[in-house]
Amino acid sequence: MKIVTLYTKKGCHLCEAVEKTIAQIARRKRFHFNRRDICEDAGDFERYQHDIPVILVDGNEIARHHLAADELIRALG
pLDDT of residue 7: 98
Quick one: CA torsion of 43, 20, 63, 12, rounded to 10 degrees? Answer: -50
Report the candidate in 2, 40, 45 with the shortest Cα–Cα distance to residue 22.
2
Q: What is the pLDDT at residue 45?
A: 97
Domains and CATH numbers, the chain: 3-76 (3.40.30.10)
- What single string gives the DSSP state of each residue in 40-76? G-HHHHHHHTTT--EEEETTEEEEES---HHHHHHHH
- Number of C-beta neighbours around residue 17 at 10 A: 14
C-alpha 4/C-alpha 18 separation (Å) is 12
| pLDDT at position 8 | 98
Query: pLDDT (tens digit, 9 = 90+) per residue, 20-74?
Result: 999 999 999 999 999 999 999 999 999 999 999 999 999 999 999 999 999 999 9
Which pTM does this prediction carry? 0.94
